Amino acid sequence: MKNRKYLLPIAATGIMALALSACSSGEDAAPASDGDCSAYADYGNHDGKEISVYSTIVDLEATNLEKSWAKFEECTGATIKYEGSKEFETQIGVRAKAGNAPNIAIFPQPGLMADQARAGNLKPAPQAVSDLVDQNWSADWKKYGTVDGTFYTAPMLANVKGYVWYAPKTFEDKGWEVPKTWDEMMDLTKKVADDGTMKPWCAGFESGEATGWPGTDWIEDVVLRDEGPEVYDQWVTHEIPFNDPRIVSAFDTAGDILKDDQYVNAGFGDVRSILTTGFAQAGQPVLDGQCAMHHQANFQASNWPEGTVVAPDGDVWAFMAPPSDASKGQAIVGGGEMVGAYSDAPEVQAFQAFMASAEFANTRVKLGGVVSANKGLDPANAQTELDKDSIARLQDENTTFRFDGSDLMPGAVGSNSFWKGIVSWINGASSQEVTDSIESSWPKS
Amino acid sequence: MTVTPTPDGATQKTRVRKSQTNKEVTGDDAAPMMRRVKTKLTSRWATAAAVIIAVVWTVPTFGLFVSSFRPAAKQVGPRSDGWWNAFTDWQFTFKNYVDVTASAGSQSANLSQYFVNSIAIVVPVTVFVLVLASMAAYIFAWGKFKGRDAGFIFVFTLQIVPLQMALIPLLTLFTQVLQIPPGSYAQLWIAHTMFGLPLGIFLLHNFISEIPGEVIEAAKVDGAGHTTIFWRIILPLSVPALASLAIFQFLWVWNDLLVALVFSGGTADVAPITQRLAEISGTRGNKDYLNPAAAFVSIIVPLLVFFGLQRYFVRGLLAGGLKG
Amino acid sequence: MDFIGEKLLQVVIALAVFAALIGLIMLVVDRAPKSDKEKITVIGFLAPAAILLLVGLVYPAVTTSFLAFTDSSGKVNGVDNFVWIFTQPEALVTLRNTVIWTVLVPLLSTSFGLAYAVFIDKARGEKVLKALVFMPMAISFVGAGIIWKLVYDYRGPGIEQTGVLNALRVALGLDPKQFLLDAPGNTIFLIIVMVWIQTGFSMVILSAAIKGVPVELVEAARLDGANPWQQFVNVTLPGIRGALVVVLTTITIATLKVFDIVRTMTAGNYDTSVVANEMYTQAFRAGEPGRGAALALILFLLVLPIVVYNARVLRQQREIR
């Protein structure tokens, strides 16, 4: 037993030696990638400079993000210090106010970015970035990065909302058709309910303090499809009140599905169980043949259990929520991140330019799981069938694209009263009551 | 000079191992008289109530513990079932723990680095708060100066200041005025110490002010000054109170996420384990089945501290003083 | 693993600097001239804590007070924020809930903690028994949220239940219930979570206090023929009165400030919001720091009765001495 006293230090030294050798060998291996920096020559040389980047992106997505700018670091000599936090939305304001902002912040919502720009914290984007965005993105996207006439942020990645997920095999077995219009979708809903083997829809709006947000996507989809992009824009910018009859009717249209116990909520319970079902799990009954359809953005692809094949002939696939009037063409709602700078140092501006470039979009998309609305993106880089489908939709000239409305609204509405309104709406309040109360919460100034 | 509490009153029924017991608290274990008292106090009803409380308080946590060993599909989503089913269909896995400790984080794949950070943050803060709070509590209890009680009440009132409201002014001060580099332990140490003091002073003041005045008077007669009284009498007599404060201070800082988010800079150089575990479930929460395992990984150290400090909850430290 | 050495070195340096600082204070206090000794002692002992508190809490509290009278763009707007607080439809519900929380949580967790501390005092396996009730305090907040989701979870009738309580209900032939959606019961279910956490705190503090009650006194009471209950009421309870006040006060303040339980479990929906949750939401979610600050001031007003009570207790204590 006496020897035990020596055992620990010896073991510790051994482990430390091992770790040290592992570390050093790891570093040797790193710069072994191909040294072709020609594509990065324009960004200049920023040896020894550090760029701090802060965003909501964590875990696997963060690792992929870091991988996609590794080449930029290698070729420009700059080091990127990345920090991801799910508390980004609250923390960015704290840090900026305290004068301790990161160089670059990747905003998940334009509304939050606009607050920071109006507070005078963000630096306007340099001309090079502005030009790149003109070249690579549609004018709409540039508008989302513009606050009071000044262009601040280039878009990074995009997500496509409004997908309706279903199991192709189930549809085939039952002889159900993918609907072409909203009315057809309602007919299908009724058909599935009458069939009786499963409920037509499953939904889950639970998301901690953000509970309710998946419901805002439903409303946005209906407003854009039923009333068209003009009304949608007016609604988002508060040119028409939130309780405008057209918006109330959009709530009712969505409610025809969501608030009918016959139509929801397979595997979980009644209408109100939507509120206690986590959004990431809500789609799974589709796989188990318990419900026919689930409404969620393209990022639902990562919520399926490991091993699920997402493809037109796979376990699960998605169609875009159809338009009310097929002749008017498809309109889709989407979202995306915005890259804003708190510094105008040359290395930071070079990084901004890189993030707006087709290089970045291609590198990141190639790593899988995300898409971008960058026109320079080669669709061949898409890693999955769904990514391919999303990119095609984003790049299709005939598609009317609108940014997620709740993300564009002021924080008091878009990330507070709208969510809460959805919750009380599902919990039994009428469309009129809910829209009235959201309208009254819209900031006066 | 020392005041040694006499041991005769210090009966400890919980067996304090002789080797661990320091001289002052050596308990006379088996006074037969005390045993009779004990049997009367612990009636059957009391035992039953204690067992019920223990069970009710533990079952929810036990559920989480069982869940932490269940495969993802059994934990969340429509295919999940109650954790108690684990005992009938017997599907357990260590995968969750492996993923928590080994999966790649955005800053470092190495969880041990965050573990070390947590310890490097917590230990100094606990020491700082204990020493500074007991000094202040002693003066508020036994010092003689104008505005003493008003001052104490004021400090106590500061407990209500919401942390969230203090973060922006403090971060401004650290980075703009004091120029403490962001992403260093120093910011976290200072911030946590500040936030821990009001409650620390309040807790210790209660205990220190109840130390019999005779003890302190006797020391003063012997010619002891404030420093001697503080280090030689007050602190040794306050060991149980210090131990409880130490446990909670340790715990609060260990489990803190808010202060860390603001002051740590988020890198693996400084960030505590809470910051790493907060992102374990992925950007959109699609890996939230890892949370139970993460919770149990981070609870180990606080529990060890709790067990370690329990031996300082001893009976009868004041017995000698009372007789004096 | 080389990072450990470097990090520990930082810790050791910090502790050494701190020790040197305290040593210096003690030296100055000890060497002070007799005439000023008391004064210098008071200053020396208080100064470090006082400086830290002034900078870390008093200064932010003052700026918060000013902030309460400004709008989201930082312009002074008089008492608009307070008008807003009291005119929004949920205001009264939020205040009512806050009052229910601050009455129930301290009472329940102190009672459970005291009962438990007394019952297991000197029992076999005391350490382990204590750890069981202490554990909720030690678990991370994310963990606590999931724990109670596993308790309150709901699935429709006929579907396999995942929550303990609903599984019990179904086993007893009742319909499952949405515990968190229906007011006012849901506030009680949230309060249970807080009681579950805070009982550990009161148990540890009160247990330490019970061990501080001189055994001679208890024994004397027993010899006088007091039964265990009388011994408890007449000897133990007066002996730990100070600790009881501390525990009640601390838990009350913690309850006034608590928002994470509400935020993560219901996000303040279904009429469960409390003042602290509104404060957090307004300041950090809705981009209205002025309203958040105004709510913080209301919290401050709510704590005043407790402050007054503690001042009275303190005065009584001084008179006895």
Is the Cβ of A411 closer than 8 Å to some Cβ of chain C? Answer: yes
Q: What is the CATH number of the domain that holds B143?
A: 1.10.3720.10
| Interface subset of A 59-98, CB within 8 angstroms of C | 89-90, 93
For residue B58 the two structure tokens come to 């533990």
| pLDDT tens per residue, range C272-288 | 999 999 998 888 887 78
Cα B161 to Cα B163: distance, rounded to the nearest angstrom: 6
Q: What percent of chain A has pLDDT over 90?
A: 62
**Tokens 């009140």 correspond to what residue?**
A241
In chain B, DSSP assigns E strands to: none
Q: Which two tokens stand for residue A59?
A: 């875990």
- pLDDT tens for B80-91 read 788 888 888 888
Q: Range with the lowest mean pLDDT among A132-146, A390-404, A431-445, C215-229? A: C215-229
User: Residue B315: what pLDDT?
Assistant: 66
Question: Is C18 in the B-facing interface, judged by CB distances under 8 Å?
Answer: yes
Please tell me whether residues B160 and B11 are part of one structural domain.
Answer: no
Q: Does B25 fall in a domain? A: yes
Domains assigned to chain A: 39-159+334-391 (3.40.190.10), 163-333+404-441 (3.40.190.10)
Instruction: Please determine, for residue A19, whether its predicted confidence score (pLDDT) is greater than 60.
Output: no
DSSP string covering B146-159: TTHHHHHHHHHHGG
* Domain-located, residue B264: yes
| Whether B278 contacts chain A with CB within 8 A | yes
Residue B45, in any domain of the structure: yes
Return d(Cα A411, Cα C87) in angstroms, integer.
Answer: 20
Out of A425-434, B163-172, C115-124, the most confident range is: A425-434
- Whether B34 and B178 map to the same domain: the answer is no
Which range of residues forms the domain containing residue B20? Answer: 7-102
Number of neighbours of residue A324 by Cβ within 10 angstroms: 17
Q: What is the spatial distance between Cα C79 and Cα C294, in angstroms, rounded to a whole number?
A: 9
Query: How far is the alpha carbon of A425 from chain C, nearest alpha carbon, in Å?
Result: 11
Report the pLDDT value the prediction gives residue C196, as an integer from 0 to 100. Answer: 95
Judging contacts by C-beta atoms under 8 Å, the chain C residues touching residue A415 are 285-286
User: Would you say residue B280 lies in a domain?
Assistant: yes
Q: State whether B214 and B289 are in the same domain.
A: yes
Query: For residue A178, what are its two tokens?
Result: 């993918």
Both B121 and B65 in one domain: the answer is: no
| CB < 8 Å from A in window 187-246 of B | none
pLDDT tens digits, residue range C30-60? 888 888 888 899 999 999 999 999 999 999 9
* B121 and B27, same domain (yes or no): no
B87 and B133 in a single domain? The answer is no
Q: What is the pLDDT of residue A368?
A: 85
Could you report the predicted ipTM of this complex, rounded to two decimals? 0.90
- Would you say residue B1 lies in a domain? no
Residue B2 inside a domain? The answer is no
Determine the residue type at C65: S
What are the backbone angles phi and psi of residue A37, rounded to the nearest 5°? -110, 15
Please classify residue B323 by burial: count the beta carbons closer than 10 Å to its beta carbon, then call 0-12 exposed, 13-18 middle and 19+ buried: middle
Domain boundary among B74, B102, B130: B102
Q: Do C228 and B41 touch (CB under 8 A)?
A: yes
Secondary-structure breakdown of chain A: helix, strand, coil percentages, each rounded to the nearest 5: 50, 15, 35
Same domain (yes/no): B16, B52: yes
Q: Where are the alpha helices (DSSP H) in B19-110?
A: 32-41, 44-67, 72-75, 86-89, 95-102
Instruction: In whole angstroms, give the CA distance from residue A442 to residue A300.
Output: 30
Extract the tokens encoding C163.
């929550």
- The whole-chain average pLDDT of chain B stands at 79
* pLDDT over threshold 60, residue A30: no
- C229 to chain B, any CB pair closer than 8 A? The answer is no
| Among candidate residues B41, B74, B102, the one where a domain is terminated | B102
Predicted confidence (pLDDT) at residue B280 exceeds the cutoff of 60:
yes
Domain check: are B276 and B204 in the same one?
Answer: yes
Q: What Cα–Cα distance (Å) separates residue C232 from each residue in A280, B204, B206, C97, C224?
A: 53, 24, 21, 34, 14
Task: Mark whether B167 and B198 lie in a shared domain.
Answer: yes
- In this prediction, residue C102 carries a pLDDT of 94
State residue A2's pLDDT score. Answer: 40
Average pLDDT over residues A161-179: 94
Cis peptide before A265 (omega within 30 of 0): yes
* A32-36, A41-45, C317-321 — most confident range: A41-45
| Helix, strand, coil % in chain C, rounded to nearest 5 | 80, 0, 20
Identify the residue with better confidence: C126 or B121.
B121
pLDDT in the model for residue A288: 87
Contact C204, C130 (CB under 8 A): yes
Name the nearest CA neighbour of B254 among B219, B215, B297, B222: B297
B115 and B81 assigned to the same domain: no
**What confidence score (pLDDT) does residue B292 get?**
87
Structure tokens at B113: 């680095």
Task: Round the average pLDDT of chain A to a whole number and report it.
Answer: 87
CA distances, A61 to each of B98, B279, B283 (Å): 19, 11, 7
Residues in CB range of A275: below 8 A, 6 or more apart: A205, A206, A211, A423, A426, A427, C181, C269
Burial A170-199 (b: 16+ CB within 10 A, else e): bbeeeebebbeebeebbebbeebbeeeebb
User: Of the given ranges (A114-123, B107-116, C107-116, C312-321), which has the lowest mean pLDDT?
Assistant: B107-116
> Is C269 in contact with A427 (Cβ distance < 8 A)?
yes
pLDDT class of A29 with cuts at 50, 70, 90: very low
Q: CA dihedral in degrees (A288, A220, A410, A436; nearest 10)?
A: -100
**A236 membership: H or E segment, kind and range:** helix A213-236
Quick: pLDDT tens for C209-254. Answer: 888 888 888 888 888 888 888 888 888 898 888 889 999 999 999 9
Within 13 Å and on the Cβ side, how many CA atoms surround A33?
Answer: 12
Higher pLDDT pick, A239 / B282: A239
For residues B183 and B277, membership in a common domain is answered with: yes
Whether residue A115 and residue C287 make contact (CB cut-off 8 A), yes or no, is yes
Residues B142 and B75 in one domain: no
Query: Count of domains in chain B?
Result: 2
Confidence (pLDDT) at A171: 93
Cis peptide before C184 (omega within 30 of 0): yes
